[in-house]
Structure 1
């Protein structure tokens, strides 16, 4: 059979999503003391990596969107983040959307130390 005698019979596509995993950036600040003047110093924090919530803007935006647009409970959000993204949110979930320490409520300030970012393992 020649190429001119053949006709396209069908077209279809199969779509897959790549695995979604969090990108975790660890900030290590070193410091010391000047040998000449004895002044203590600590390395500056990289821009955008200030202390506060460990969650970046993409996670904050997604949590806010799912929570307030789709009325998904914090418990369900925690489950979704574990199952879909391999990210376990422990502690008080309101920290996900709070990035500045000075806007924490007194209750949130007490719970802040309990918040941690842990790779999810079912």
Structure 2
């Protein structure tokens, strides 16, 4: 996946998630996607390279950083709970979609039940229980 496709793919996925909203609280250089006021994805450029910053399960985040050279700790975020994704080998549309959806589900799971736009345990995984 090339650099321009990374942001387009991530944004398209995020825009299709129930209750997702795009905001620019840090200026035009940052695209921040929220659900019910809680951030689940940020997009910006870090020295000219497009990056997508996503929430991740801490154990899974560590494993992802070990498996993919294009995944690093969350830029300007809690390094344990967030990852930064760059374009590169092994990063395709399906992978980006999975990471965006998982980040969204993690945030939705921490919302009060009455505020959840979807069931985070079944949404986006074909009805299977969350891992």
Larger radius of gyration: 1
Asked if these proteins are the same fold (TM beyond 0.5), I'd say no
Q: Between Structure 1 and Structure 2, which shows a larger proportion of strand residues? A: 2
Q: TM-score range by the shorter chain?
A: under 0.3
TM-score, structure 1 normalization: 0.23
Q: Which has the higher helix share?
A: 1
